[in-house]
Amino acid sequence: MLPQLLILYFSFHLHLFILPMIKGMMEKIPPDAANALNANIIVRIAGVFADAIDIFYGWWFVVIPVFALVSQILVLFLKRQGDAIAKVGVLLIMNFCATIAFISLSAQMMTLIMVMANYTR
């Protein structure tokens, strides 16, 4: 469970660093290069994740309690089935969150590399 927690921790803090950097660089590159980058599927995926992260940061006071409530209901339901099943359920929830965070961070890093290549020209 420690690797999943580390992935979540680092992705949370790296998103705070990467998103403003990508937005600033996209504003400074020529419009035709920005349009070409926006047509790329990786940049679109990164944009969707960036919008989701912006919504999360803007509505954290709603999203966190809702996620906690849904997770608690799921864990209580699984606990009725047995303690071992509840432990597996918690691990699956953590793995799901860590996987989504890792995919998001990977897309953001690839976008940063692509934007940086156009920015340094």
Query: What is the spatial distance between Cα 121 and Cα 116, in angstroms, rounded to a whole number?
Result: 9
Average pLDDT over residues 59-82: 88
Query: What is the spatial distance between Cα 20 and Cα 120, in angstroms, rounded to a whole number?
Result: 17
pLDDT digits (tens, 9 = 90+) for 80-93: 998 888 888 888 88
Q: What is the DSSP letter of 1?
A: -
Query: What is the spatial distance between Cα 36 and Cα 74, in angstroms, rounded to a whole number?
Result: 43
Cβ contact 58:89 at 8 Å: no
Query: What is the spatial distance between Cα 10 and Cα 24, in angstroms, rounded to a whole number?
Result: 22
Token representation of residue 16: 């705070």
What is residue 26's predicted lDDT score, i.e. its pLDDT?
85
| pLDDT above 70 for 31 | yes
Average pLDDT over residues 24-46: 87
| pLDDT above 80 for 120 | no
What is residue 121's predicted lDDT score, i.e. its pLDDT?
65
Average pLDDT over residues 82-111: 88
| pLDDT band, residue 18 (cuts 50/70/90) | confident
| pLDDT band, residue 69 (cuts 50/70/90) | very high
End-to-end Cα spacing for the chain:
43
| pLDDT above 80 for 1 | no
SS3 labels along 70-92? HHHHHHHHHHHHCHHHHHHHHHH
